[in-house]
């Protein structure tokens, strides 16, 4: 390859020619468009928008006023249509937003008149409101069901040490066992206990005194690990074992995992004197297909 600079092809001399390797060292294709190319490809800023704005959101068409999109200043939509940013248009001249438009109508309805979506769409609209950074909509959605209840549930789970890690462990163990056995499902043992102190029915009257007055050395006598795959607890809250079981099943189901569980007994491990562990043991069945 011969590259000539400053002269026409006809007037080039052998001394002016460069080898192919030299030319490749001196000439490189720009990785990004030059300023001149960018100026030809994109319109000059600020971009001007009409009062009535046609939109194409992921292939779904909407029409709204510019003032609606700019209703709240600290949102992504207000920034996009502020004129400071270039918004591409489709073949019909609609301003294109590369986002699933399924719930964009709910976003517009809130910006227009403060309307909130029906309960079955609250979670999905909340996700879109997060993407578009619409703070007032997020606040309103968090104050209604099911998100209000979810906040209460998360407050309870916040008391549970390593809750998310234990969920991951359940999934990993069930997957490994099903894979090793080439089975459709896998079973594992899960302990869920609210109280730290082991008790039996006839020991209940002594429970409080033993719990609060035992020495550190005596406390170690009651420390043990049940022979299970995963153990949840203890915690201090009104919510009981069945509430936590509901949370576990709900969170696994939300990840598309089919799970059944049943109580198969208690640990019943001897600790000291006449004290035995009475933590309930549950069998979890994870079905993969």
Q: What is the pLDDT of residue 254?
A: 92
Give CA–CA dist 5/252, Å, rounded: 67
- Residue 268 dihedral angles phi and psi, to the nearest 5°: 60, 25
Q: What is the pLDDT of residues 160-190, one digit of tens each?
A: 889 999 999 999 999 999 999 999 999 999 9
pTM beyond cutoff 0.75: no
* pLDDT bracket for residue 197 (50, 70, 90): low
pLDDT score for 47: 81
Which runs of consecutive H residues, i.e. helices, occur in the chain? 20-26, 35-41, 66-69, 76-80, 104-113, 122-131, 135-142, 147-157, 163-181, 207-213, 216-221, 241-254
189-193, 224-228, 262-266: least confidently modelled range: 224-228
Count the Cβ atoms, other than its own, within 10 Å of residue 190: 22
Greater pLDDT, 170 or 203: 170
Residue 66 Cα distances to 24, 69, 74, 92, 255, angstroms: 50, 5, 15, 18, 39
Q: With cut-offs at 50, 70 and 90, classify the pLDDT of residue 204.
A: very low
Give the model's pLDDT for residue 267. 87
Q: With bands split at pLDDT 50, 70 and 90, how would you rate the model's confidence at 226?
A: confident
Q: Nearest Cα to 139, choosing from 79, 75, 78, 81?
A: 75
- pLDDT on residue 12: 46
Calculated CA dihedral for residues 129, 135, 138, 144, nearest 10 degrees: -150
Q: What confidence score (pLDDT) does residue 56 get?
A: 98
Residue of higher predicted confidence among 195 and 231: 231
pLDDT for 10 equals: 44
With 0-12 CB in 10 A as exposed, 13-18 as middle and 19+ as buried, what is 134? buried
Query: For residues 70 and 78, is the Cβ–Cβ distance under 8 A?
Result: yes
Per this entry, what is the length of the chain? Answer: 289
Three-state SS for 89? strand
Residue spans per domain, the chain: 52-144, 158-201+224-287
pLDDT digits (tens, 9 = 90+) for 231-262: 998 888 888 999 999 999 999 999 999 999 99
pLDDT in tens, 62-99: 999 999 999 999 999 999 999 998 999 999 999 999 99
For 15-65, the pLDDT digits (tens) are 444 444 444 444 444 444 444 444 455 555 578 999 999 999 999 999 999
CATH number (3.50.30.10, 3.40.640.10, 2.60.120.20, 3.30.710.10) of 52-144 reads: 3.30.710.10
Torsion of CA 160, 162, 166, 169, to 10 degrees: 180
* Over residues 103-107, mean pLDDT: 98
Task: Please report the pLDDT score of residue 271 as a whole number.
Answer: 67
């Amino acid at each position: 390859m011969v590259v000539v600079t400053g002269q026409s092809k006809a007037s080039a001399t052998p001394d002016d020619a460069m080898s192919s390797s030299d030319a490749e060292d001196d000439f490189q294709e720009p990785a990004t468009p030059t300023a001149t190319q960018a100026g030809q490809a994109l319109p000059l800023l600020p971009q001007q928008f009409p009062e009535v704005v046609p939109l194409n959101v992921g292939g779904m068409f909407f029409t709204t006023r510019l003032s609606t999109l700019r209703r709240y200043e600290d949102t992504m939509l207000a920034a996009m249509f502020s004129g400071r940013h270039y918004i591409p248009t489709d073949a019909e001249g609609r301003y294109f937003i590369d986002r699933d438009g399924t719930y964009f109508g709910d976003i517009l309805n809130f910006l227009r008149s403060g309307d909130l979506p029906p309960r079955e769409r609250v979670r999905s609209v909340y996700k879109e409101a997060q993407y578009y950074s619409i703070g007032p909509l997020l606040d309103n959605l968090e104050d209604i069901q099911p998100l209000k209840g979810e906040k209460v549930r998360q407050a309870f789970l916040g008391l549970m040490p390593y809750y998310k890690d234990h969920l991951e462990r359940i999934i990993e163990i069930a997957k490994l066992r099903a894979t090793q056995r080439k089975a459709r499902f896998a079973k594992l043992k899960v302990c869920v206990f609210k109280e730290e102190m082991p008790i039996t029915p006839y020991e209940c009257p002594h429970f409080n005194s033993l719990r609060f007055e035992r020495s550190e050395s005596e406390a170690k006598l009651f420390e043990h690990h049940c022979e299970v795959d995963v153990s949840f607890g203890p915690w201090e809250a009104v919510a009981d074992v069945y509430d936590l079981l509901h949370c576990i099943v709900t969170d696994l189901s939300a990840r598309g995992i089919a799970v059944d569980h049943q109580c198969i007994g208690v640990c019943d491990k001897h600790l000291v004197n006449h004290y035995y562990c009475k933590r309930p043991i549950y069998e979890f069945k994870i079905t993969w297909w």
